[in-house]
Structure 1
C-alpha cells in the first residue's frame, strides 16, 4: 500500500516523550513516521526505533524548522503531518487527513489545541487558541499542522528560523489555498505552562507574536524567548577521549593521555566561566560524545554537536549555529587555553561592537590565532586557509581584508601545543587541573 501520510516529529532531548508518542500511534500501512533529530542524538534514536515498522530517524541541523525540513526531504507520503513530541494525536486524525485528498482546494490544515491539565486555566488557554485560529487563521505548531507534500516543496518548506517557523509557513499556506480546521483535538503537554506560569506564558507568547508582526527578526525573538544574552563565548573542542593533540604528545614523548586533554578542556571551560555578562557554549565533535562533553560543563552551557570536517568548516558552522540562536556578538576560542585571561575575551567582545563588519583576532606565537570574534557568520573568511601551519593568522587576516572587513587585534596569548607551553601553563594561575597533571607526570616527560 502506498504511503499517504508522513508524520514528521522534530525532537530535542525528548526520547521519553517520543517513545510514549510512538507507542500510542496506530500501526497503519499507509503511514510512515520520521523522527527528525540532531546529529548528537541520531545513534540514540536509531537504536530506539529499530524494529518498529514504518519508523525511522533522520538527522537535521539543530532547530525545529531545519529538523522538520530534514524529515520532509525523505518523506514519501502525499501529506506531511508535523507533530510535536509532547503531543498526542487522535487515531481518527489519519482518516480525516486522507479524506481531504479528494478536495484539491485544501492545501493543509490543523487540529484543535488541547492541554492535558484540568481546571479553568487550561480551558481558557484552549479557548484563546481557538479564537486566534478562527479569526486570524494562525494555528501554531502544537496543533499538528499538516500540508500536501507537493505544496510544501513548492513553497520551499519551513524557513529555518529559530522561532515563528510555524506562523510563517501557515501565512504562506493561506496564500496557496484553503486550510482545513479539524474539530479533532491534539492534546499537548501542559508542562511548559506549569513551569512558566499560565498567564506569564500566555502573555509572553502574545508579546512575541506582536513583535513578530511588527517585523522583529525571529532569531532576536528566540533569544528573548529562551532568556539568552546578546553575547556568547564558545569553546571549539574535540571530546577528550576522541584523540587529537598529536603535536603536544609528540613533544612530551608519551602516548596520548585522555586525562591531559580532559584537564586542558576543563581548565579552558573554567577560564570562560570567569567572563561576566555572557552566555557560554561548547561546540564539539564527535557528535556521539555528548555525555562526555556535558560532564565537563554545567547546565548553564549550551552544547552543540558538529559533524567532522576541517577546522575552517567547523568554525564556519559554529558561527552559523550560534548566530541562529540569536547571538549578536560571538567569540570563539580553542580548547587548549587553560590560562586565558577573562580580560582578553572582554576586549574582543568590545572590539566586535563596531558598526562596520569587523573580525577580531587574538594572535598566538605559532602563527595561528587563539581567538576570533564576529557579529555574524562569514563563510568566506575560512576558505583557502592553510590550517595547521604557521600561516594561519596572516592568511586569515588577508582573507578578511579581501572581504572588506575591518581587522582588530587584541593581545597575543599562548595555547598549549607542546611541552614548553604545557609547563608554562602549569606554573601560571588558573590552570589547576593542568598543574595537577604536570606535577603527577613530569617525571615521564
Structure 2
C-alpha cells in the first residue's frame, strides 16, 4: 500500500506526492531518452493489448504543482503514435492507420462515449436546463472559443455566453475579475468542458476558475458553483491526503442534493484527496476499446501504464467511511466509487488553442473521467433535496446498471480488491462504468 506523509495543504503539497511525481518523471525521461523518444511517456507492454501501436504521451504542465501549496490536475496529453480510436477508424475504412495532425481529431468523440456508456438516447433527450459546473484553477482566455470549435465539429448545438448556455466566473462569482491565465490549466479546462459537452450536449456549463490551485481556493470555487445553482460539480485535481481533509470536507464538499465528482488521480495505487472525501463521487479510470466480440461493442479494463502511472484507488487514512460503503477491507473511505475512460492510449479528443498550436489533441487521465461522470449525473436528473448522490451507484438498482470492470490492476496491495479489478466492487473502478443513467438517479 502506498504510504502518505500527512501535511496540511496550507503549508504546501505533500512531499511524498511531489517526490513521487518527480521520481516518476525522471525515470520516464531517462528511459525514453535512451530509447530515443525524448520526454514523452510511452505505454508499456501491459497497455499493448488495449492499443497495439506505441502511443506516447506526457503529463500536462498542471500535473506538477507550479507553486508551494497547490494541487495537481490529473490529465495527460498524447504526443505521438496511433490511438485506439484511430486504429478502429482505419480498420473500418480498410486503410492503414496514420497519426493525426492537429487538424484531425484522434481520440473518442461524443458518439463514441455515448455509445460506450449506453447514453445515446439519454443524451439526445435529457439535460436541458441542467447546469454542470467545472472547477479548475487559473484562467483559460480561450475557453469559450475552444469549446465552440469542439461543439461545432461534432454537430452539437452552440453553447455560448450569448445564448445563456456557457458562463465563466472567478471564484467569487465575478465575470470580470478572473485569475491569471495559465496554459497548463487551460489544457485541463478544455478537456473538462469538452467531456461535459460530449456526454450531455443539452446541459448548460458553468466554468468556475480558482485564483490558484490551493485547496482553499478550489474549495471556495466549489462553494461558488453551488451558490450559482449548479447541481453537478466536476473536479479534476488532487493531492496527497492530510489531517486537514475532514475539515475540508465540511467546508467545501458537504453539499446535499449536489453531485460532486472528483478524479481519483493518475499516480496508480494510492488514495488522494479530495477523491477521498466522503461526500463526493470518486471516479477511477479505465482503458476503453471497441470490441466485436461483446454485445456491448466495447471492453474495459483498469487503466495502468506503470507502477507510477494509472488510475488511483485505495483506503483513505483520514476520511470516515460513508454509510453506503460496505466493503470490509478498508475501515475508512475507499476510493473509487465508479469509473470511466482515462487511459491516454484510448483517450478522448479535445480542442485547445491557448499556449499550444491551436488544434485537436488526445487526452487521458482521470481528469477525463470526472466530467464524464458529472455529465451522466446531469442526464439522470436533479438529485433529490438532502440526498448524497455518491450513494446512488451503491443501491441495488445502481449496481445492476453499471458495466462491471473485472480485469486489470493499478499496482500491488495487501488487500487485493483495493488495487485489482474483480466482480462487483473494487478500488480502481468502483462498481463499474455507466450503462445508461439508472445508477445515477436517486
TM more than 0.5: no
How high is the TM-score relative to the length of structure 2?
Answer: 0.24
**Structure with greater proportional helix content:** 1
Larger relative contact order (CA 8 Å, sep ≥ 6): 2
How high is the TM-score relative to the length of structure 1?
Answer: 0.24
